[in-house]
Amino acid sequence: MLRAVATDVDGTLTDRRRRINTAAVEAIRTLVDAGITVMLASGNTVCFMDSISKMIGTDGTIIGENGGVYRRGFSGPLQVVGDRQVCLEAFEILRDYFARKGVELEQYSAEYRFADVAFARNIDPAEAQAVIQVQGLDVRVLDTGFAIHLQPPGVSKGAAMRELAVEMGIPTSEILAIGDSENDIEMIEAAGVGVAVANATPATRMAADVVTSRPHGDGFVEAVKMHYSDLFSR
């Protein structure tokens, strides 16, 4: 039995223009009303995650900053993972390096982030990773398709999901995970059933147990109806 769902937001519940799929919202509410915990997982900040959780109607269990922060329920303590300082050091190195090439790096929501650094996708992530490695910093460069993130070691949506599963008292084998990007791979692999929506990257599709026939929010709905058919046949 799948007792919880962990789902990415951008590209999984939303379309290319970041418009949320209303059918996906209704499906989440059906799950929640049936006692299924729905964890929203994203590279976004805690304040964004709180807002969308309230609007959709979940209990506030979230994974933010690609696993850098997580929390069980709105009233639970916020857990912050990793050392953001090393990410800030890496960002300064990248900012200086790319400034010499005439490229300015723009941070996203710096004042609202606890664990990682996010900035606009105007550089090559592979080049950025190489620059950081030369400096000897253990920082991961992650391109989510919406922003580039700098993450401390050991941070991922999958690691945060495993910690939440322990807090909830359920094995990860009883979690359905759904995503579309490479930052979802660890979460998809750690879950009992991992699903990639049809618009997912090739690497994410390879990691999944199931790939839906439909993209974005329609793919999310397809996945939950497939695995919770009894709830959606009433």
Q: Could you tell me what percent of the chain has a pLDDT over 90?
A: 94
Give the pLDDT band of residue 1 (cuts 50, 70, 90). Answer: confident
Indicate whether 234 pLDDT > 70.
no
* CA–CA gap between residue 23 and residue 5 (Å, rounded): 16
Looking at the chain, the number of H-run helices and the number of E-run strands are: 9, 11
The length of the chain is: 234
- 9: phi then psi, degrees, rounded to nearest 5: -105, -70
Q: Could you tell me what percent of the chain has a pLDDT over 70?
A: 100
Exposed e or buried b per residue across 147-183, where buried means at least 16 C-beta atoms within 10 angstroms of its C-beta: bbbbbbeebbbbbbbbbbbeebebebeebbbbbbbbb
pLDDT of residue 33: 97
Residue 83 catalytic? no
Q: Which domains does the chain have, with CATH numbers?
A: 4-80+155-232 (3.40.50.1000), 84-151 (3.90.1070.10)
Give the pLDDT band of residue 61 (cuts 50, 70, 90). Answer: very high
For the residues 19-32, what does the mean pLDDT come to? 97
Indicate whether 60 pLDDT > 90.
yes
Cβ neighbours of 86 (radius 10 Å): 18
Annotated catalytic residue within 8, 10, 143, 218 = 8
Look at residues 184, 157, 175 and name the one whose alpha carbon lies nearest to residue 228. Answer: 175
